[in-house]
Amino acid sequence: MARSYDEILVEVRLILALTPRVQLSALSKRTHIDRHLIERAVHELTGCSFRDYRQKEVAVQAVKLVAETNALMKQIATGMGYRSHSAFCRMVKRATGITPRQIRRKAQAST
């Protein structure tokens, strides 16, 4: 039985939540869904490429962790699969326009 694009995207989201930096080929192997079908489903439902979608999902997870926890940025970066804290901070700033420290300060100021 063929999976719908919606079902494929749900699987993609679940795996990205567990393994944020998963590559498309690894995701394809893990889900037993052809990589081209994953790309089509993501593009059809989100309007962006798998790579861009993955980056957005990672940024959303990162912002949530930064804003809602007291974990060190280095701990969050490592937990999300980044080897360096600075690469993590650059990704967050590129995705949101502000640094993780600024995100945390705003979150703390609003509580």
Rounded to two decimals, what is the model's pTM? 0.82
Which residue segment(s) compose the domain that 35 sits in? 5-109
Q: Domain of 103: which CATH number?
A: 1.10.10.60
Check residue 81 and give left, alpha or beta (phi > 0: left; psi -120 to 50: alpha): left
- Tens digits of residue pLDDT in 71-91: 999 999 999 889 999 999 999
Question: What pLDDT does residue 69 have?
Answer: 95
**Number of neighbouring beta carbons within 10 Å of residue 95:** 15
d(CA 49, CA 78): 25
Confidence of residue 1 (pLDDT cuts 50, 70, 90): low
Number of separate domains in the chain: 1
- Tens digits of residue pLDDT in 21-50: 899 999 999 999 999 999 999 999 999 999
Q: Give the pLDDT mean for 80-105.
A: 93
Give the percent of the chain with pLDDT over 90: 84
